[in-house]
Amino acid sequence: MLEKTGLPTPEDLARGSPSKERLSRGPVAIIECFQRIPCNPCYAACKRGAIKEFKDINDLPEIDFELCNGCAVCVSKCPGLAIFVVDQTYSEKEALVKIPYELLPLPKKGEMVDALNRQGETVGKAEVVSVLKFKDKTCVISIAVPKELLMDIRNIRVRRE
Ligand code: SF4
Ligand code: SF4
């Protein structure tokens, strides 16, 4: 499936997802990296040791959700744009999703953007809560999304007239 469509299967996603109980306790990273490739900046980026040491550079990353505090440092360092942070506790009705973003124009804080699923389909609207820019790394955009779409929204589209 992944090789043909670029999309992970539900089984792939289930393997890399935190439990409902962990999600209910606040921000946590989700790694959607499912192909064996020689890459490990995520491991080096995490100073909390939440991303387990690779035995082989081609290993798939594994995360200890108990050690992860959702800081999103790894989001900006992953060349595959494969790491997201989700926070189900953001507010009563909304969750926060931190996504890697490398397109222009960058959205602005407070702007409403299209919220996209993994297929690139618009599934709703999201409010941009923050835009973290780095000199040589990927931007991290935090968006507030309807709670029920927490595990679906993985990208945004910025509209400019
Ligand atoms: S979000 Fe922070 S604590 Fe969690 S895996 Fe990434 S770098 Fe480590
Ligand atoms: S840095 Fe990103 S692409 Fe590379 S192994 Fe880690 S999660 Fe996968």
In angstroms, the CA 155 to CA 17 distance is 18
Helix or strand holding residue 31 (H, E):
strand 28-31
Per-residue b or e along 9-46, where b marks 16 or more CB atoms closer than 10 Å to that residue's CB: eeebeeebbbeeeebeeebbbbbbbbeeeebbbbbebb
Rounded to whole angstroms, the Cα distance separating 161 from 45 reads 38
Taking only the tens place, the pLDDT of each residue in 119-140 is: 999 999 999 999 999 888 899 9
* Nearest atom (ligand 1) to Cα of 73: 7
**Structure confidence by residue, pLDDT tens digits, 41-97:** 999 999 999 999 999 999 999 999 999 999 999 999 999 999 999 999 999 999 999
pTM over 0.85: yes
Residue closest via CA to ligand 2's atom 4 equals 39
Which pLDDT band holds residue 7 (cuts at 50, 70, 90)?
confident
Ligand 2 environment, Cβ below 6 A: 31, 33, 39-42, 61, 78-80, 82-83
State the Cα–Cα distance between residues 54 and 108, nearest whole angstrom. 37
Closest-lying ligand 1 atom to the alpha carbon of residue 51: 5
- Look up residue 112 and give its amino acid: M
pLDDT tens, residue by residue, 140-154: 999 999 999 999 999
* Residue 155 and residue 142 in contact, taking contact as beta carbons nearer than 8 Å: no
